[in-house]
Amino acid sequence: MKMVDLIIKKRDRQELTTEEIREFVAVYTRGKVPDYQAAAFAMAITLNGMSARETTDLTLAMAESGDVLDLSSAVSLAVDKHSTGGVGDKTTLVTEPVVAACGLPVGKMSGRGLGFSGGTLDKMESIPGFRTDLTTQEFLKQLRTVGLVLTGQTGDLAPADGKLYALRDVTGTVPSLPLIASSIMSKKISAGAQRIVLDVKTGVGAFMQTLEEARELAEIMVAIGRLAGRKTVALLSDMNQPLGYAVGNALEVKEAIETLHGDGPRDFREHALEVASHLLVLGESAHNLKEARKMAEAALADGRAWEKFRQLVTAQGGDVTYVDNPQKLPQAPEVETVDAPKAGYLKEVNARIVGETSVAMGAGRQVKGDVIDHAVGIVVHHKVGDWVEAGEPLFTLHARNAKSLAEAKERVLAAHVFSKKKVAPLPLFYGVVR
């Protein structure tokens, strides 16, 4: 295979054969494709797309680039969820302990921050010692003993996606339906869960900005799941404003901890419980969503979900005193609350601007290998539809230095749009694709 020929073929909108896709993934996984060619290839796919057949081929080749786990030696049935990426999306940190606390094993392979969206692994690494590089044996053992695993791509599991994901993050090649679908589904297939709930985001803070694009992405991932013998359901959810209030790694871990203690923002709690309910039904722990919802609420209310989160942190080497005392988590030196410049109903809290600002402050990567600043980020204080008085706290910035704080202040102020007329709150969900 000559890599340049594949790039040219995609550039010229031709369809790649199954063999070509398989060979690209095999050679790329072995480290034999330079980053500049892989980036050009990813850009050609982003611009010209892929057919459903090519997308499925890419997914299966990436899933098979490492081990494909058979979880049946550890548990009889395991579930998993995955989000297509959003701002303030810390759902996994609450949903998965809730589901595992209900007795349904959860084995998850997560991702890092991607473009303006945050990543579960980066968030969890705010906790000193927390390991995200479990081996296959460790994954299986923890699934059996704790019933909850949250790891990243290692050399063993979907390594091709791990490499491509890091490259896409910094080359403008994230918002591509075939690349997102294959990235997510290759991780899900290789991590072995038999039942999968996908949280497909739509809106300005999502990679799929329109509901039509999000539905198309959901449909292709559900179809790939079916083809791979995994029962898959996709929820279509809103990402026009940040989910919850906190955006930034340690800040989001703190908000997830509050939610696991029964507090936390209403929208985030509701979102996490809804995703958990779908997992419980798909995993046959509940007969219907109503029953599942009751189970999930009970696991949150009686502290079982919190205890499961602590077990997860401990099992993966994290220092549990940091989650027991979240004030020990990384703290930014510059913290400032910015007040509303005027009164009005909030028409927009632009998730894209908030996400991009958080990355610029250091919470995400601008180039491959950038070190994440776990302490920095933004806490908004209001949701779309809220009435805000002039002079009321609008958002709080947690910055590394005064320059970063001043820049962020302008941008996050611009992310808040006021209206004199009453504004309806945004919905959390737009539908389900089965």
The yes or no reply on residue 85 touching ligand URA (CB under 6 A) is yes
Cβ atoms of 237 and 429 within 8 Å: the answer is yes
Residue matched to tokens 């990243």 = 152
Cβ atoms of 107 and 78 within 8 Å: the answer is yes
The yes or no reply on residue 346 touching ligand URA (CB under 6 A) is no
In whole angstroms, give the CA distance from residue 47 to residue 316: 39
| Residue with Cβ nearer ligand URA (97 or 111) | 111
| Residue with Cβ nearer ligand URA (114 or 286) | 114
404 catalytic per annotation: no
In the list 101, 121, 148, 184, the residue contacting ligand URA (rule: CB under 6 A) is 184
Catalytic position from the list 57, 161, 169, 373? 161
In the list 136, 183, 316, 396, the residue contacting ligand URA (rule: CB under 6 A) is 183
| Residue with Cβ nearer ligand URA (120 or 396) | 120
110 catalytic per annotation: no
Site string for ligand URA, 186-205 (x = CB under 6 A): -x------------------
Taking contact as CB under 6 A, which single stretch among the options 16-24, 180-188, 233-241, 273-281 is the one that binds ligand URA? 180-188
The yes or no reply on residue 180 touching ligand URA (CB under 6 A) is yes
Size of the site for ligand URA (CB under 6 A): 9
Catalytic position from the list 82, 215, 254, 310? 82
**Could you count the other beta carbons within 10 Å of the beta carbon of residue 369?**
7
Cβ atoms of 4 and 38 within 8 Å: the answer is no
In whole angstroms, give the CA distance from residue 7 to residue 16: 10
161 catalytic per annotation: yes
| Residue with Cβ nearer ligand URA (140 or 164) | 164
187 catalytic per annotation: yes
H helix count then E strand count, the chain: 17, 13
Residue matched to tokens 């102020």 = 413
| Residue with Cβ nearer ligand URA (188 or 381) | 188
Taking contact as CB under 6 A, which single stretch among the options 177-185, 230-238, 351-359, 403-411 is the one that binds ligand URA? 177-185
H-helix or E-strand spanning residue 95: helix 91-101
Q: DSSP characters for 221-283? A: HHHHHHHTT-EEEEEEEE-SS-SSSEESHHHHHHHHHHHHTT-S-HHHHHHHHHHHHHHHHHT
Residue matched to tokens 């679908």 = 181
Q: Using CB under 6 A, which residues numbered 95 to 154 contact ligand URA? A: 111, 114
Site of interaction with ligand URA (CB under 6 A): 84-85, 111, 114, 179-180, 183-184, 187
